[in-house]
């Protein structure tokens, strides 16, 4: 199977070593917006006279618009260019973050969190930029490099948020997000090249756009790639969205000790992504998924068994999450690129569709699953295992689709059906 597509213009406007750093910075807006304020949940309840469920729903208020708008950022970038979409979206995130910091009631906070979510999903354009510039194993290596850097954000965010919370209160977290978004927008304005030439842009017309979305979401291979990634990631996202309950209530750590969860998860994601980059061009996607699921199945079984037979405790409750995160991240770059290469003419839109399925799963997890299972570590482990198993079922179906595609195509290449 080949991951390559016909070559396109590759403007060498910044050094290749710089581009992954910038794309990673753009990509971290999502994790920072999700994770940085988690240690402040209890203080926010008192400050805004809100219930724990209402504070939990500030995460849902972010994730639902995040999922919806992620469908459109890529399409907009296919029509208008990558650069302006990224810069404008980051500017709006900065302004919305200031609104969150100034909120005096829960309703206002919900509103500005929704605005944040609408534009923080611009990270999908960054993935399209990578695919505009790199091909084949090189693209997988760069995606893996971005994933390693991206993986650091979930560990840094709650630790930094906890320190800001201790020193300056919960509002300082959102002021930090505003400054970070503004600086990233400025960096993009100064250094990000336009990687999509005008002659390759797609018109932003309703008819062709709807047909492109229908074609993308009805393509079985693309849909299965995206669902595998979504199910595998939402299994670990149960712990991200449920971090206040898992850490503060069950493991009895302080607001400044969220690294107990996010450190192992981040280290696992970074390790899996690094291995994926190292093996790019050496290990095919089937073997990559095989090793990936071997790690995830072992970790999920250990996690369930541990919490069914004993109390949650450190470090044992987080060791399976490290192994799971490593296995999950091992296969994510390959699956992302396979999905994008089904539609080389509108990779931005395809990237948006991938992100929509992932973030919609995260929103459902935060809004529906976490409130149901966060009362017990055993329930959290069981729910994560069920989601992982759903991803495994999709992987089996994907193998069948890819096998048929290989038989139908002389070179076994990925093609858009």
**How would DSSP label each residue in 365-395?**
IIIIIHHHHTT-HHHHHHHHHHHHHHHHHHH
Identify the pLDDT of residue 4. 41
Token pair in block for residue 266: 């981040």
User: What average pLDDT does the structure give for the chain?
Assistant: 83
Closest CA to 328 of 286, 278, 298, 293: 293
DSSP codes, 112-179: HHHHHHHHHTTHHHHHHHHHHH--HHHHHHHHHHHHHHHHHHHHHHHHHHHHHHHHH-THHHHHHHHH
Summarize pLDDT for 348-365 with one digit per residue, the tens: 778 778 878 888 888 888
What would the mean pLDDT of 261-273 be, rounded to a whole number?
Answer: 85
Please check the confidence at residue 97 and state whether its pLDDT lies above 90.
yes
Q: CA dihedral in degrees (216, 217, 218, 224; nearest 10)?
A: 100
Would the pLDDT of 1 be above 80?
no
Instruction: Give the CATH fold of the 18-195+209-408 domain.
Output: Growth Hormone; Chain: A; (1.20.1250)
- Sign, Cα dihedral of 209, 367, 389, 247: positive
pLDDT at residue 213 greater than cutoff 90: no
- 182 vs 200: CA distance, rounded Å: 29
How far from each other are the two terminal CA atoms of the chain, in whole angstroms? Answer: 16
Would the pLDDT of 302 be above 70? Answer: yes
pLDDT > 90? residue 92: yes
How much of the chain exceeds pLDDT 90, in percent? 31
Residue 2: the pLDDT is 40
Q: What percent of the chain has pLDDT over 70?
A: 88
Q: Which of 229, 223, 212, 218 is nearest to 358 (CA)?
A: 229
pLDDT bracket for residue 25 (50, 70, 90): confident
CA 401 to CA 377: how far, in whole Å? 37
The DSSP annotation for 27-79 comes to: HTHHHHHHHTTGGGHHHHHHHTT--HHHHHHHHHHHHHHHHHHHHHHHHHHHH
pLDDT surpassing 60 at residue 186: yes
* Mean pLDDT, range 261-282, rounded to an integer: 81
> Which pLDDT score is estimated for 27?
82
Tokens of 389: 């198993």
The answer to whether residues 303 and 324 touch, using CB atoms and an 8 Å cutoff, is yes
- pTM given for the model: 0.69
For the segment 262-266, the average pLDDT, to the nearest whole number, is: 84
Local confidence band at 17 (pLDDT 50, 70, 90 cut-offs): low
Residue 391 CA to chain centroid, in angstroms? 16
- Taking the C-alpha atoms of 282, 288, 291 and 296 in order, what is their torsion angle to the nearest 10 degrees? 150
* pLDDT at residue number 408: 59
Mean pLDDT confidence for 11-17: 48
| Averaged pLDDT, 105-134 | 86
91 pLDDT tier (thresholds 50, 70, 90) = very high
Where do the structural domains in the chain lie, given as residue ranges? 18-195+209-408
pLDDT band at 106 (very low <50, low <70, confident <90, very high): very high
């Amino acid at each position: 199977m080949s991951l390559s597509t016909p070559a396109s213009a590759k403007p060498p406007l910044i050094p290749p070593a710089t581009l992954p750093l910038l794309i990673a910075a753009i990509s971290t807006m999502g994790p920072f917006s999700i994770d940085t304020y988690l240690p402040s949940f209890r203080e926010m309840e008192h400050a805004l006279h809100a219930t724990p469920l209402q504070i939990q729903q500030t995460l849902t208020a972010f994730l639902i618009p995040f999922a919806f708008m992620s469908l459109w950022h890529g399409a907009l970038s296919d029509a208008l260019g990558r650069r302006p979409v990224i810069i404008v979206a980051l500017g709006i995130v900065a302004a919305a973050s200031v609104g969150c910091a100034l909120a005096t009631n829960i309703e206002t906070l919900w509103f500005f969190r929704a605005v944040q979510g609408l534009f923080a999903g611009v990270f999908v354009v960054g993935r399209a930029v990578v695919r505009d510039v790199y091909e084949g194993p090189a693209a997988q290596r760069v995606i893996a490099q971005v994933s390693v850097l991206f993986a650091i954000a979930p560990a840094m965010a709650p630790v930094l948020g906890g320190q800001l919370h201790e020193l300056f209160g919960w509002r300082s977290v959102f002021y930090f997000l505003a400054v970070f978004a503004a600086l990233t927008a400025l960096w993009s304005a100064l250094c990000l090249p336009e990687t999509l030439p005008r002659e390759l842009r797609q018109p932003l017309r309703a008819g062709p756009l709807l047909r492109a979305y229908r074609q993308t979401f009805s393509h079985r291979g693309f849909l299965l790639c995206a669902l595998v990634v979504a199910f595998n990631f939402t299994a670990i996202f149960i712990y991200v969205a449920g971090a206040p309950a898992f850490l503060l209530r069950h493991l009895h750590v302080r607001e400044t000790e969220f690294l107990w969860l996010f450190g192992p998860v981040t280290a696992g994601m970074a390790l899996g992504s690094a291995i994926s980059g190292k093996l790019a061009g050496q290990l095919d996607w089937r073997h990559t998924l095989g090793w990936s699921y071997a790690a995830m199945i072992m970790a999920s079984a250990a996690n369930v068994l541990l919490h069914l037979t004993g109390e949650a405790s450190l470090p044992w409750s987080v060791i399976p999450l490290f192994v799971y995160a490593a296995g999950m991240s091992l296969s994510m770059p390959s699956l992302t690129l396979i999905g994008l290469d089904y539609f080389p003419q509108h990779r931005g839109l395809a990237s948006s569709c991938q992100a929509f399925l992932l973030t919609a799963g995260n929103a459902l997890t935060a809004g529906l699953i976490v409130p149901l299972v966060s009362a017990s570590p055993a329930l959290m482990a069981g729910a994560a295992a069920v989601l992982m198993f759903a991803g495994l079922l999709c992987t089996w179906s994907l193998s069948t689709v890819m096998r048929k595609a290989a038989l139908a195509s002389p070179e076994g290449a990925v093609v858009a059906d």
